[in-house]
Amino acid sequence: MTKSELSKSLIYVNGTRDKRIEVTQIVLDNPHLISPLLEISFEDNVEISSKACWILEFVAKKNIQLILTHIDAFTLGISKVQLDSSVRPVAKICELLMKAFFSKSKNEVQMKLKEHHLEKITTSCFDWLIGEHKVAAKAYSMTSLYLLGDKFEWIRPELRMILEQNYSLGSAAYKARARQILALISKKNKNQKREA
């Protein structure tokens, strides 16, 4: 399957899970399609790019290794994503990567992600958190940034400040995730003071 053929398949993807799973399986069965799928995903501001991002998220949930083989392209492209329907799945992939990277169990993500990848994810997550995006992208970004605070000490104070400043303006879902993250930051701070 070529990039053009993949694009044609994506036209028929809709909100139904069955259609998304059908195209996801094609990509899982043909890993060479990850590269053109990423290209389409990051050709933002077109409807098909959002559909490509949906498939990319499903692929990442099934086999994160396929994203890792193209991690440079992924982390370079995420800053280009602007449409809410694209930002949400890309933010979810970042969250999946960060959960794996900061897992106590050794895994492939920890070996493949380098500091420059983490920096690009950090920048994009802050952009999504403070930008005009829907709550799901903001929630995934909060989790990713909280985890990244284990690597970059400056992140959690910034994250706390943003969450506290925007709390009163957030939706119920935003507030719920913000409360959870703020509680985790407070707990981490207390533990660090105890250890000092």
Provide the token pair at 116. Answer: 């420059």
Dist. CA 111–CA 88, nearest whole Å: 26
Q: Are 21 and 61 in contact (CB under 8 A)?
A: no
Tell me, what DSSP letter sits at residue 117?
Answer: H
Q: Look-up: residue for tokens 């994160």? A: 64
123, two tokens = 């920048």
In tens, the pLDDT along 95-107 reads 999 999 999 999 9
Instruction: Indicate the pLDDT class of residue 157, thresholds 50, 70 and 90.
Output: very high
Domains of the chain: 3-156 (1.25.40)
Give pLDDT, residue 44.
Answer: 66
And the tokens for 191?
């533990």
Q: Is the per-residue pLDDT at 45 higher than 90?
A: no
Given pLDDT bands bounded at 50, 70 and 90, which one contains residue 40?
Answer: very high
**Alpha-carbon distance 76 to 100, whole Å?**
20
Q: Which of 51-60, 97-106, 110-119, 181-190 has the lowest mean pLDDT?
A: 181-190
Among candidate residues 157, 32, 20, 28, the one with its CA nearest the CA of residue 89: 20
pTM above 0.75, yes or no: yes
pLDDT of amino acid 19? 87
The pLDDT-based confidence of 86 (bands split at 50, 70, 90) is: very high
